[in-house]
Chains A and B, each alone.
Chain A
Amino acid sequence: MTGNQSIRGSVDKIDPDQLTIVPLRHPWRWVAVALVLVSVAAMIRSAISNPEFQWPIVAQYLFNPLILDGLWKTLLITVVVMILATLGGTFAALMMLSPSKLLSVPAAVFVWFFRGTPALVQLIIWYNLSIVVKDFTLWLPGIGTLYSVSTNDIMTPLVSAIVALSLHESGYMAEIVRSGLRSVNKGQYEASACLGMKPSLALRRIVLPQAMRIIIPPTGNETINLLKTTSLVSIIAVGDLLYSAQSIYARTFETIPLLLVVSFWYLAVVSIMSVGQFYLERHFSRDEHRNNIGLTKAILGNLAKIGRKEALA
């Protein structure tokens, strides 16, 4: 304040070319950086020196056939559930957007129910379906029973897991697809109608590709979330990644190393998925960037930006 006032009279005498502009310094940021570095070093030291981590055992089980078999099952459940949930969610979203209350209300109730109850609870309910429904029967009036099968024969642990998680995930996907479809301007529907496009063609060629930009990022998150949620199926004895590890350490008591193996695989799959998500997002926003940059450049570019900022501080 006082400094500025004293200048007022002598502004004419200052040569702007002779002035140096000093950016704001952030000394506390360097203190924070030091603290973070020390903690990271301590963690790495502990991980290396503490024998309880049993790294040789981790390495030994990393490619164990039982573990790989569990990983395969985890991936299978994730992929099948995500496909079913995307189909179910899109269907529910289209129903919710229908002008007819007879379609939109049931869809909203479906979403409300399956999004509102915990995945674990739904999993156990479907696993125990035979308590409520003894068998599935196709019965036609006048003809009688055509086909009948016991519930326990159909609802194996794997099928129960897929049904339960698909319905649960459909609820989330419905909301994601709905917000994507609503994000597309009404004029796009009208323009495609005026060019003679049927509603189904307009949806496929004009509306969905634009909605994808809104739909893909949260769907990527959902897929990553689902991959980890599938570990719940170990509770109904589906031999997924976690269940396989549990069955080994129940015998050998090498609990921590096996859970590290499990974490390694989950992290590896999530990393691969993130790369896939990056390319999908880029594909659907290709009109926004004339020169698309690659993944490594995107990561390195961000690091360089952070580095430059820190160096200035």
Chain B
Amino acid sequence: MAGGADHGRMERWCWGAGSVVVIVYALIPVAWILSLSLKRSADLGDNRLFPQVVSLEHYAAVFRDPQFSAALWNSLGIAGISTLVAVLLGMFAAYAVVRLEFPGRRVILAAALSIAMFPPVSIIGPLFNIWRTVGLYDTWAGLILPYITFTLPLAIWILSAFFREIPWDLDKAARVDGATPLKAFVFVIAPLAAPAVFTAAILVFMFAWNDFLFAISLTSTNDARTVPAAIAFFTGSSRFQQPTGSIAAASVVVTLPIIIVVLIFQRRIVAGLTAGAVKG
């Protein structure tokens, strides 16, 4: 069966080549920005992919800038709190939507989805004015609120899809075993939903971490400006110099937390924890 073997080799080769194309396509910009961040200022325009001399001067410059450290702290805090609140609220909402019979629960899911689809740019203007009036402009809460609003629907959808897979008998068993509804949720359902919780958390975190629109519109100082907005305020060392190197270095720095978070949690995201709950 020489033809069959040939066929198999051909197929593997095609898969391999396809994968390489996709990876190169996706990673070339990243490699480029990494390379820019490591070049000396003088070499920035040398049209080479690999830096001639690896230098950390831009990283040093970025971290010397108090604006960047403040922005990094703001980003971590705002994204962290948004994630925590959105996932927590999302868990309760999703559980209610899946397990409780109440009028309009389909409407809730549909409404949640429509909020997620809503273009944020259309509310920026009014939000700017409202926030200035009520004193939320340029505060952490002023960013956390819209982030939660726009990520909560996503969290609810992910979590409710997962809760639906958890056998209802487990809730019932816990209730008969003497648990209050809250205890049944905390000790039985929540641990089983961990993979979905991590998935939702990562997506919410990435939304908040990467957001530029709200951050640039609703902040004005280091009090609440996050990294994506702060990068736009970078300046070169003189007014004749482009801040290319610093921007590249800052971009690499803000990419790292996301990569770390995903690497840490990717194993936990693997579902299959429910295997063995029921027969099969």
Q: Do A and B come from one complex?
A: no
